Structure 1
Amino acid sequence: MIDYVRTSTVRHSPTGPRRKATAGIAVLAMTLSACGLFGPDQPDTVSQEFVDALNADDVQAAAALTTDPAAASAAITALYDGLGNKDGTFARTDVQESGDDAGTFTMEVTWPFAEGQEWKYSTSGNAAKQGDDWKITWDPAVLAPGLTEDTTVRYTPTTGRPPKVLSSSGAPILTEQVVTLVNLDQGADTAAVAALLAPLAPTITPASLQKDVADAQGKPVTAISLRAEDLAPIEAQLTALPGVTLVPQARLLSTDKALASPTLSGLADLWQQGQDASAGWAVQLVSADGSAESIAGEDGPVAPDITTTLDLPMQTAAERALADMPQQAAIVALRPSTGAVLAVAQNAPADALGPIALTGLYPPGSTFKTVTTSAALQAGSATIDTVLPCPGTENIEGRQIPNDDQFDLGQVPLHTAFARSCNTTMGRLAVGLPADALQNAALQFGLGVDYVTPGLTTVTGNVPIADSSAARVESAIGQGQVTASPFGMALVAASIARGSTPAPMIVTGQPGTADRTAPPVPAEVTADLRTMMRETVTGGTATALQDIPGLLGKTGTAESGNGPAHGWFVGIKDDLAFAVFVATGDSSAPAVQAAGRFLR
């Protein structure tokens, strides 16, 4: 019989070291008859010696006790190899005599694999006297049920139906698909291969392939991996070329190959975790022709599909808004009411640097004035209507601060200074604040908070305590030691829109967990910020977007320290908050233009 069960006993991996449990094996043999093979004058009978040799992993000793040592040795070795370990325990449980020269015995076998995976079965064998010696009559089935001279057994992990990664509308984003590796040997015609592949990958040339082949030093080299739709038109030509081998392989891929969000990596990791958790196992009886039949095992739990918060039309719009920009650029869009991540996009120059939309840290420039103004309003330093100076440049506590092109507004209300982005006004306000005021105000909007979010790796930013007046002036305008990621500034915009910081979420129902909690911003302060952000669009630095109904925003330009300044725009429209970042854009204009393409 064959019995397989799950058990909670902790066991080693198939290839790991493990001490066998041998106590109590074959006690029943001592009660058998007092003659022949199983008599008391032979306490170490051939059947017990066979069991003992198997438990000691002594292949040669066990094989030598059989009528066909060569075949037995090969079968026992194949058993160990096929099951991936030597951890099976064998117990002789019954012995029967068949006259003076023959007998039968049974064994109970337990074979552990990974944790919770254990194969239990019973086998029987025969023994006979050959001259003065007793031998196990060789039959592979004594080792495992159904085993013959022409079969082997094999342990294999199994997985169930691959889950899908879905958009918020239920459309597939990532699915397991078959790709084909185009592998080249030393003798491959690289010119012919390049001619076929160059339309799909322009960087592939005869010279590049020849170098790859040479560097491989005789080993096959993969020139490219192709999706089914890309392979089909050229498959016959590739197959006909000498030195070219096509190798199919299952991979998790985006359903639309144009989709290139940096969120896909984290979602793929989450998918793999689900696949790993769904793992089952099987022991297969493998025939000489390679066909296999499962004789033991258990399926794992079904891995559920992963429903994300990503909005595919919005994701596509964000990618298109950035596609033709020569600088690194990124857009992150969130739903303030829930924290749902709606879109995360970056262009090819940004991709070359990694997931900058989620983890890249840059000075946020004047978009940080949302935080500075919040801190000033909460401290009572000013109201939205307080008239303040906005000179073209000012020396504030030894730090000379200019406005962009040194524009001078004279005396204006705070809301105007915000909308027109007066550096001098903000610097002067910040000087009078406590050293930790800007840091605390930033934390209230999620900036500087670390989140553990299933399927999403993010860094929001860093706003250190400003111990000196000069440091507070720098921080007030998003320079100095202040840094933020595009994700972090999108979270700031979402916090202003919502009135509190939402927990970010990319998998539906699985919001992130913050490493700290800041007190909420007073409702009247976030209301004032929204008013000022609306004025930024209608009469401030973002009037290029004033045709978009209801849009709120804040522009930003930040000195990069080496080259043109970075450009920013953060915006709010209904239940949408977003940030646009353009590296070395030299002003906020490219970011504003990208925001317009995204929204329109």
Structure 2
Amino acid sequence: MGKTTKFLVTGLSALMLAGSLAACDDGRAGAEGAAKQLASSLAGLDLGPVALEGTDTAAANEQLKAVFADLGDIKPSVAAGEVKLDGSKATVPLDYSWKLGSAEWKYSSQAELTKSGDKWTVQWNPALLVPELKDGEVLDVTTARAKRGGILGAGDTPIVQDRKVIRVGLDKTKVDAAKVESSASALAGLVGLDVAEYTTQSAAAGPQAFVEAIVLRGFTADITEAKLKAIPGAVALPDTLSLAPTRTFARPVLGSVGQASAEQIEKSKGALKAGDIVGTGGLQEKYDSLLRGKDGLVVAVVPAPGQDAPAEGTAAEGTAAEPRTLFEVPAMDGTSLKTTLDVKLQQLAEATLADTGPASAIVAIRPSTGAVLAAASGPGSNGYNTAMLGQYAPGSTFKIVDSLAMIRDGMTPDSKVQCTPTLTVDGRTFKNAEGYPASSLGSVALRDAFAHSCNTAFISARDKVSQQQLESAATSLGVAVEAPKLGADAFLGSVPGNAEGTEHAASMIGQGKVLLSPLAAAVMAASVGHGAPVSPQLVLNGGTQSGDGGASDGGASPTAGASPTAGASPSSSASATAPAIAKPVTKAEAAALSDMMRAVVTSGHAGFLAQVPGAPVGAKTGTAEFGKDNPPKTHAWIVAVHGDLAVAVFVEDGGLGATTSGPLLKEFLIAAG
């Protein structure tokens, strides 16, 4: 091949390559780059880096922020799709994804790009942000509130359900700004709030705010409609709230509901927000997620603030149109919690304790099923769940446990024991209660010593009944073990497995380090009535809520007589520390214990219970000393079995069990029918 031909071929190749490159340089790379930049800027909610046509960047950013303002701090994920070229114009789909709680809202819009010289610009249109969005429209995000589940009692009787309430507060739209402080101060004084705190809260709220002060079931003698009207801006708004029949009904057990506090919102890690209704304390808090359900949400396009929606069919092209829903997540209503509480018996228990000054409790259990029918804490408990969480020395009621241990050591109710006026153990003198009958001293039947509660007779048995045997007998009666069916936080008792000397002697009369709650004492009596260990049950459909279980760890204990809140915290699962029931009480053993409990009524301290109609009542009284006063203060106890009902009555600082708790028990049993 000659030189001329060679140069000709080379030149043609160069021309062909140049033509190919020119054909590829159709602007796609620039358009794709502009599209990616637009997607990135939209995801950051800042259009500063984007070249726009039809508006300036500042105006576009202002409109973007207004459109998405109701979404708060949430930012979308935005991806640019495939660019479609048409000469100097291009279109590109924009795929949005918003994380709205646990929901994901996805949609696509379309952007138009125009090439001017070697630069691609984006044609501004609010529909870039949301399909078909027009000028003068923004997004509105509202919560679709889930209906909170109620709490049901025995036979699915409604306990906690929606009831009418009045929300009292200050409506700042109805009072001059200059009078907000004086109105807030007057309203706080009327409803009993801290004046300075409520005034500060009212001042800090926005000009359109309703600043809630109190929620009432109805107007009272002190807070009347007329008094509210006299305060500028004070209003009473009708509403409903999940409430029990009365303000006090089983409140320490059930808990309450109200708006989430700042602390609860912070601890929820985003699960709660201001205005959410949540449970506080008791079952309402323990099963809050079950009861609360799950709120839904609605994302809609609405006219921007200050712009009214146009009349139907009158909206001009490109201007705000009728509100329309873009995305919706339906609310999932909460599930009602089913319990075993008997409304009548709970109200009766609370009424029985109404005039009792010290902390007190009545717990009623159905032995055949373990159902907790009532768990009432008296007004002296000041809102504390004394019935289920109290930790107190049980006194002579614990002689039920002693007697079981002694029966297992070969004794019967007719076996003889020595009841002496006093007994000294390692230098400490124990004696019987004041007024102990002389006729029951000396060599008496175990049944008689039990009926009259001879301390010295039971302490004398300490050499035959070890502390470990006491612990075993307690667990045999359902005490100091876990309660897997209870479904609520509770203290089921603490009976140490090791104790010597005076501590072991004190254990024989339910003192020392032996502690029971009124619930545990009722379980002990119920196990005698049932002829087998009873495992208490309060919640029927709690599932596997966090903390579900019920028994205390049976470990650390408060000093006798100390405030219950100062003692060991109840644990919802005691499996790691509470002993198992190695040797359940038998029907024969329970029959012997029932015989002795009946003797307490027929010949012992609780003769007043013979007047209770219906099935024969078996009982055991108890008095436990606490504190350092001289004479010492005492807890007053009594437990009883009446047919298929086991009851424990407790009064802290109550004197003698027979004279203080006994009459309360009699009143309860007769009224219970």
TM-score of the superposed pair, with normalisation by structure 1: 0.83
Q: Which moved more, 1:308-317 or 1:515-524?
A: 515-524
Structure 2 CA distance for aligned equivalents of residues 86 and 188 of structure 1: 37
Instruction: Give 1:25's aligned residue.
Output: none
Instruction: Give 2:274's aligned residue.
Output: none
Structure 2 CA distance for aligned equivalents of residues 192 and 54 of structure 1: 47
Question: Relative to 1, partners in 2 of residues 1:305 and 1:395: Cα closer, same or farther, differing over 3 Å?
Answer: same
Q: Which moved more, 1:509-518 or 1:262-271?
A: 509-518
Structure 1 CA distance for aligned equivalents of residues 218 and 88 of structure 2: 66
Structure 2 CA distance for aligned equivalents of residues 216 and 280 of structure 1: 29
Counterparts of 1:221-300 in structure 2 under 5 Å? 224-228=214-218, 234-242=224-232, 244=234, 246=236, 251-265=241-255, 266-288=282-304, 293-300=324-331
Establish whether residue 576 from structure 1 lines up as the match of residue 645 from structure 2.
yes
Q: 1:338 aligns with which of 358, 369, 373?
A: 369
Structure 2: gaps spanning 5 or more residues: 1-21, 171-179, 206-210, 256-281, 310-322, 544-548, 551-573
The alpha carbon displacement at 1:251 in A equals 4.1
Q: 1:566 aligns with which of 612, 619, 635?
A: 635
Instruction: Give 1:164's aligned residue.
Output: 150
Q: 1:60 aligns with which of 30, 39, 48?
A: 48
The alpha carbon displacement at 1:213 in A equals 5.6
The alpha carbon displacement at 1:242 in A equals 2.6
Aligned 8 A contact 2:292 2:333 in 1: no
Structure 2 CA distance for aligned equivalents of residues 320 and 298 of structure 1: 46
Counterparts of 1:466-481 in structure 2 under 5 Å? 466-481=498-513
Instruction: Give 2:661's aligned residue.
Output: 591
Instruction: Give 1:365's aligned residue.
Output: 395
**Counterpart of 1:544 in structure 2: which amino acid?**
F
Deviations 1:358-392 (A, max 9, x none): 11111100111111111111122x21110111122
Instruction: Give 1:428's aligned residue.
Output: 460
Aligned 8 A contact 2:638 2:661 in 1: yes
Question: Relative to 1, partners in 2 of residues 1:540 and 1:123: Cα closer, same or farther, differing over 3 Å?
Answer: same
Instruction: Give 2:181's aligned residue.
Output: 186
Aligned 8 A contact 1:63 1:72 in 2: no
Aligned 8 A contact 2:367 2:645 in 1: yes
Q: 1:503 aligns with which of 530, 535, 560?
A: 535
**Counterpart of 2:148 in structure 1: which amino acid?**
P
Aligned 8 A contact 1:193 1:238 in 2: no
RMSD between aligned residues = 3.3
The alpha carbon displacement at 1:101 in A equals 4.6
Question: Relative to 1, partners in 2 of residues 1:215 and 1:101: Cα closer, same or farther, differing over 3 Å?
Answer: closer
Report the structure number with the largest CA radius of gyration.
Answer: 2
The alpha carbon displacement at 1:129 in A equals 4.9
Instruction: Give 2:138's aligned residue.
Output: 152
The alpha carbon displacement at 1:412 in A equals 1.2
The alpha carbon displacement at 1:538 in A equals 1.9
The alpha carbon displacement at 1:324 in A equals 0.9
Q: Which moved more, 1:418-427 or 1:518-527?
A: 518-527
Structure 1 CA distance for aligned equivalents of residues 300 and 79 of structure 2: 23
Instruction: Give 1:319's aligned residue.
Output: 350
Deviations 1:1-33 (A, max 9, x none): xxxxxxxxxxxxxxxxxxxxxxxxxxxxxxxx9
Structure 1 CA distance for aligned equivalents of residues 185 and 105 of structure 2: 51
Instruction: Give 1:310's aligned residue.
Output: 341
Question: Relative to 1, partners in 2 of residues 1:321 and 1:477: Cα closer, same or farther, differing over 3 Å?
Answer: same
Percent identity between the aligned chains?
32
Establish whether residue 383 from structure 1 lines up as the match of residue 412 from structure 2.
yes
The alpha carbon displacement at 1:109 in A equals 2.0
Instruction: Give 1:200's aligned residue.
Output: none
Aligned 8 A contact 1:270 1:455 in 2: no
Instruction: Give 2:93's aligned residue.
Output: 106
The alpha carbon displacement at 1:318 in A equals 0.2
The alpha carbon displacement at 1:460 in A equals 1.5
Counterparts of 1:441-520 in structure 2 under 5 Å? 441-451=473-483, 455-508=487-540, 512=549, 515=575, 516-518=579-581, 519-520=583-584
Instruction: Give 1:528's aligned residue.
Output: 592
Structure 2 CA distance for aligned equivalents of residues 568 and 323 of structure 1: 17
SS class of match (1:493): helix
The alpha carbon displacement at 1:226 in A equals 1.3
Deviations 1:195-237 (A, max 9, x none): x65xxxxxx4xxx765666787966886543124659983354
Structure 1 CA distance for aligned equivalents of residues 521 and 401 of structure 2: 10
Structure 2 CA distance for aligned equivalents of residues 240 and 386 of structure 1: 78
Alignment coverage as a number of residue pairs = 553
Structure 1 CA distance for aligned equivalents of residues 661 and 50 of structure 2: 76
Question: Relative to 1, partners in 2 of residues 1:307 and 1:217: Cα closer, same or farther, differing over 3 Å?
Answer: closer
Q: Which moved more, 1:117-126 or 1:307-316?
A: 117-126
Instruction: Give 1:551's aligned residue.
Output: 617
Question: Relative to 1, partners in 2 of residues 1:282 and 1:214: Cα closer, same or farther, differing over 3 Å?
Answer: closer
Instruction: Give 2:5's aligned residue.
Output: none
Aligned 8 A contact 1:252 1:268 in 2: no
SS class of match (1:459): coil
**Counterpart of 1:553 in structure 2: which amino acid?**
A
SS class of match (1:533): helix
Aligned 8 A contact 2:54 2:124 in 1: yes
Counterparts of 1:62-141 in structure 2 under 5 Å? 62=50, 67-78=55-66, 81-97=69-85, 100-115=87-102, 117-129=103-115, 133-141=119-127
Establish whether residue 47 from structure 1 lines up as the match of residue 35 from structure 2.
yes
Aligned 8 A contact 1:554 1:569 in 2: yes
Question: Relative to 1, partners in 2 of residues 1:51 and 1:522: Cα closer, same or farther, differing over 3 Å?
Answer: same
Question: Relative to 1, partners in 2 of residues 1:123 and 1:305: Cα closer, same or farther, differing over 3 Å?
Answer: same
Structure 1 CA distance for aligned equivalents of residues 42 and 141 of structure 2: 19
Question: Relative to 1, partners in 2 of residues 1:484 and 1:215: Cα closer, same or farther, differing over 3 Å?
Answer: farther
The alpha carbon displacement at 1:94 in A equals 3.8
Q: Which moved more, 1:61-70 or 1:466-475?
A: 61-70
TM-score of the superposed pair, with normalisation by structure 2: 0.74
Deviations 1:563-589 (A, max 9, x none): 521100111111111111001111111
Question: Relative to 1, partners in 2 of residues 1:245 and 1:455: Cα closer, same or farther, differing over 3 Å?
Answer: farther
The alpha carbon displacement at 1:299 in A equals 2.4
Question: Relative to 1, partners in 2 of residues 1:144 and 1:469: Cα closer, same or farther, differing over 3 Å?
Answer: same
Aligned 8 A contact 2:52 2:123 in 1: no
Structure 1 CA distance for aligned equivalents of residues 24 and 53 of structure 2: 20
SS class of match (2:414): coil
Q: Which moved more, 1:497-506 or 1:512-521?
A: 512-521
SS class of match (2:70): helix
Structure 2 CA distance for aligned equivalents of residues 457 and 214 of structure 1: 38
The alpha carbon displacement at 1:161 in A equals 3.0
SS class of match (1:121): strand
Aligned 8 A contact 1:333 1:344 in 2: yes
Aligned 8 A contact 1:566 1:582 in 2: yes
Structure 1 CA distance for aligned equivalents of residues 328 and 515 of structure 2: 54
